[in-house]
């Protein structure tokens, strides 16, 4: 099935319902919850919510819109957008690259292979490097500044999910810490390893509903402000080439929309000039199947 060539504006509720049903059938045959963050493993695998918005203000939804979930890596495009707005592209890209990677999201080998320079801002290494550039004295103030900026500019209601944060903190993520140390050694960390990792953990635990995720997506479909539009273009380009890590290339060929995933089951696609598609499905395969069934 394909989104009609006239785009999101000709979408109907019954089309969306049919796609979601098809995706659920596919996904029940497989897919599992992430288990390395205990709080994420407690999600009901069948939870599902989708919201699609277009620039005319039409909203299509399916599933349980009251479910809230942590953004995890789906926050990364917005860290990049915020810093592009605050610091400008030149300064940002002194600290992070813009090249795709064929390694997993948290690859330390990737960072080492590139002499400690993070290859792109969608990988943990790139996002962690950017965390160190955020304004604020500690993880809490850095996260709170960004949370407020996002809520104001995207008109959403993100909150810090304290329970998931506790769960993230309960198991030290040695890989992320090793990445931060490597960045510090190579001179790409502008704050201490501890503050940077705490900022990263807190920002991954910003949470909201699919409605909030769709609002964030609409922030990347700007009208009017030329500087914001240029920064959004950069963010969307990196979502297309790097947003799904080593699977970005095949997804771009098959689907072709700037997309970012999060290990919680958050998935955001932007339809440039048209709108945003926000999905939540904690079962990893269901998440991917949903986007493929809807948009392939």
* Residue 259 in the binding site for ligand GLN (CB under 6 A): no
* Residue 73 in the binding site for ligand GLN (CB under 6 A): yes
* Residue 125 in the binding site for ligand GLN (CB under 6 A): no
Q: How far is the CB of 169 from ligand GLN (least distance, A)?
A: 11
Closest CA to 243 of 27, 65, 98: 98
Q: How far is the CB of 173 from ligand GLN (least distance, A)?
A: 6
Q: How far is the CB of 50 from ligand GLN (least distance, A)?
A: 19
Site pattern 161..180 for ligand GLN (x: CB under 6 A) = ------------x--x----
Q: How far is the CB of 58 from ligand GLN (least distance, A)?
A: 29
* Residue 262 in the binding site for ligand GLN (CB under 6 A): yes
* Residue 124 in the binding site for ligand GLN (CB under 6 A): yes
* Residue 281 in the binding site for ligand GLN (CB under 6 A): no
Phi-psi region of 133 (alpha: psi -120 to 50; beta: other; left: phi over 0): alpha
Q: Which is nearer to ligand GLN, 165 or 257 (CB)?
A: 165
Q: Which is nearer to ligand GLN, 61 or 107 (CB)?
A: 107
Q: How far is the CB of 266 from ligand GLN (least distance, A)?
A: 8
Distance CA 139, CA 191 (A): 10
Number of amino acids touching ligand GLN (CB under 6 A): 10
Site pattern 20..49 for ligand GLN (x: CB under 6 A) = ------------------------------
Q: Which is nearer to ligand GLN, 72 or 242 (CB)?
A: 72
Residue from 204, 210, 234, 278 in contact with ligand GLN (CB under 6 A): 204
Q: How far is the CB of 187 from ligand GLN (least distance, A)?
A: 22
Residues 100-119 that bind ligand GLN (CB under 6 A): 105-106
Strand-pair category, 59-63 with 206-208: unpaired
* Residue 263 in the binding site for ligand GLN (CB under 6 A): yes
SS (H, E, C) the chain: CCCCCCHHHHCCHHHHHHHHHHHHHHHHCCCCCCCCCHHHHCCCCCCCEEEEEECCCCEEEEECCCCCEECHHHHHHHHHHHHHHHHCHHHHHHHCCECCCCCCCCCHHHHHHCCCCCCECCCHHHHHHHHCCCCCCCHHHHHHHHHHHHHHHHCCCCEECHHHHHHHHHCCCHHHHHHHHHHHHCCCCCCCHHHHHHHHHHHHCEEECHHHHHHHHHHCCCCCCHHHHHHHHHHHHHHHHHCCHHHHHHHHHHCCCCEEECCCCEEEEEECCCEEEEEECCCHHHHHHHHHHHHC
Q: Which residues bind ligand GLN (CB under 6 A)?
A: 72-73, 105-106, 124, 173, 176, 204, 262-263
């Amino acid at each position: 099935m394909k989104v009609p060539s006239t785009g999101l504006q000709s979408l109907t509720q019954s089309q969306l319902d049919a796609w979601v049903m098809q995706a659920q059938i596919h996904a029940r045959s497989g897919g599992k919850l992430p288990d390395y963050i205990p709080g994420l493993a407690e999600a009901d695998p069948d939870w599902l919510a989708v919201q699609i918005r277009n620039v005319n203000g039409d909203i299509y939804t399916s599933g349980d819109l009251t479910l809230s979930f942590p953004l995890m890596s789906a926050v990364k495009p917005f860290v990049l957008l915020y810093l592009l707005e605050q610091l400008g592209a030149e300064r940002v890209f002194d600290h992070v690259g813009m090249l795709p990677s064929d390694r997993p999201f948290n690859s330390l080998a990737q960072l080492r292979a590139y002499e400690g320079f993070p290859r792109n801002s969608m990988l943990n290494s790139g996002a962690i490097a950017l965390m160190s550039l955020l304004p604020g004295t500690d993880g809490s103030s850095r996260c709170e500044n960004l949370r407020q900026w996002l809520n104001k500019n995207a008109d959403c209601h993100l909150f810090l999910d304290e329970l998931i944060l506790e769960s993230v903190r309960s198991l030290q993520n040695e890989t992320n810490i090793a990445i931060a140390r490597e960045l510090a050694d190579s001179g790409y960390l502008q704050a201490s390893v501890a503050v940077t990792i705490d900022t990263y953990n807190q920002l991954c635990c910003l949470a909201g509903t699919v409605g909030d995720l769709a609002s964030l997506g609409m922030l990347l479909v700007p009208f009017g402000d030329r500087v914001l539009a240029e920064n959004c273009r950069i963010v969307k380009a990196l979502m297309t080439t790097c947003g799904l890590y080593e699977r970005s290339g095949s997804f771009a060929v098959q689907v072709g929309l700037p997309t970012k995933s999060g290990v919680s089951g958050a998935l955001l696609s932007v339809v440039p000039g048209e709108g945003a598609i926000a999905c939540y499905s904690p079962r990893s395969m269901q998440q991917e199947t949903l986007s493929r069934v809807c948009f392939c």
